[in-house]
Amino acid sequence: MRSLLRQLLRRLLLFVPTLLGITVATFVISRAAPGGPLGELSAEQGSGMLTREQLAEAAHARGFDRPLVEQYFDWLGSAVRGDFGNSDQPHHRPVRELIGEAARVTIGMQAVAAALIYLLGVPIGVWCAVRVGTRLERWVSGLLFALYAMPSVVVGSFLIALLCTGTLANLPFLWSSPPAELTAVSRAAHVFANLAMPTACLVLVGLTGVARYTRAGMVETLRQPWIRALRARGLPESRVLYVHALRTGILPVVTLVSSLFPWLVSGSVAIETLFSIPGLGRLAFEAVDRRDYATVQALALLIGVMTMVGFLVSDLLHAALRRRERVA
């Protein structure tokens, strides 16, 4: 217990300097990239380009004419208070509102996908480990490897081609906002129908990694002498697999938890763009494309925080499972 607390304290002490490093790197890279929000502002005017005086006035209003160090510390002080500024183009709205609206869609979809990925991936991995070397297991492992190698946008395109033609042509695959006159139940059903296919795409792509990690961990665990000793004592095979072996074999999968938290909030740029979902991934892509400094920096900070939380939770789960294993 004491070592667990020391590890937790060490991680928390690294939290602040790591996040500061993320904010500095994001700030410098965004400013060093060619173009900028003022270029997008000029493009918004159509054929009438802004004059040099108008551009200087716009830069002064946004604080871009001040020293970079001063701009950074002003933004950092506001971010600590929860104020990330206003988006430039085309929203002209507070960044916190944009992220809040997009997060509701992304986190809901990603959370359901993550739950299904683990609920399906772990049993598939255990099944492959128990039947390793058989013809059926080789076919299943080959299919998992093929899915693992496919980009998510390719899997999504196949799903659209297979499920949105013929008798299933009415199945929605492009996002549409629910009409305001719908009841709460109808709105929920509308959102569910719009997110069903992208969620299925995320599950198909994600469960392959979980299944492969589970298979590798379980194959190694099932070869251990203590597993043979448990079987020799007459324990039921289900208890040997799911109580004793899985406790050790699941450790490689626990490592994936560190990427789960940032994945929940970062979204999938390819999936959200393919299915026109107004989530965080699409918001980040559009913000980078528009050189929207405020939105890019806020999203980078959010993903950095969730990445650090993911590593912390992963370390704690590893330590807890190792402790239970020693006790057992």
Give the pLDDT of residue 174.
Answer: 66
Q: What is the 8-class DSSP label of residue 176?
A: -
pLDDT digits (tens, 9 = 90+) for 162-198: 776 655 556 666 666 666 666 777 777 777 777 888 8
The DSSP symbol for 269 reads H
Of 164, 252, 171, nearest in space to 213 by CA: 252
DSSP code of residue 86: B
Asked whether 172 and 194 are in contact (CB, 8 A), the reply is yes
Question: Residue 225 falls within a domain, yes or no?
Answer: yes
The verdict on residue 101 lying in a domain is yes
Say if residue 139's pLDDT is above 90: yes
Mean pLDDT of the chain: 79
Distance CA 179, CA 200 (A): 24
Amino acid letter, residue 269: V
Q: Which two tokens stand for residue 192?
A: 């569910």
The whole-number pLDDT of residue 315 equals 77
Provide the pLDDT for residue 56.
73
Q: Percent helix, strand and coil across the chain, each rounded to 5?
A: 80, 0, 20
Q: For 35-66, what is each residue's pLDDT tens digit?
A: 666 655 555 554 455 667 766 776 777 777 77
161 is a domain residue: yes
Name the more confident of 250 and 33: 250
Output the DSSP codes for 90-138. S--SBHHHHHHHHHHHHHHHHHHHHHHHHHHHHHHHHHHHHTTTSHHHH
| Residue 179: inside a domain | yes
Nearest Cα to Cα of residue 88 among 130, 127, 58: 58
Q: What is the pLDDT of residue 47?
A: 46
Residue 179: its pLDDT value, please? 66
Q: Which residues contact 119 (CB under 8 A, 6 or more apart)?
A: none
Return the number of other C-beta atoms located less than 10 Å from residue 214's C-beta.
27
Mean pLDDT in residue range 80-95: 78
Q: Is residue 67 part of a domain?
A: no
Q: Is 304 helix (H, G, I), strand (E, B) or coil?
A: helix
Residue 91 belongs to some domain of the structure: no
Cross-strand partners of 86: 94
Mean pLDDT of 288-298: 82
Q: What is the pLDDT of residue 124?
A: 92
In degrees, to the nearest 5, what angle opens at C-alpha 66 toward C-alphas 55 and 283?
A: 70
Domain that holds residue 224: 96-327
Per the structure, the count of domains in the chain is: 1
pLDDT(145) > 60: yes
For 270, phi then psi, to 5°, come to: -65, -45
CATH number of the domain enclosing 143: 1.10.3720.10
- Has residue 327 got a pLDDT over 60? no
pLDDT: is 263 or 155 the higher one?
155
Is the residue at 150 inside a domain?
Answer: yes
Assess if residue 87 is contained within a domain.
no
pLDDT at 267: 61
Encoding tokens for residue 245? 């072996």
Mean pLDDT value of segment 287-301:
83
Q: Is the peptide bond before 151 cis (omega within 30 degrees of 0)?
A: no
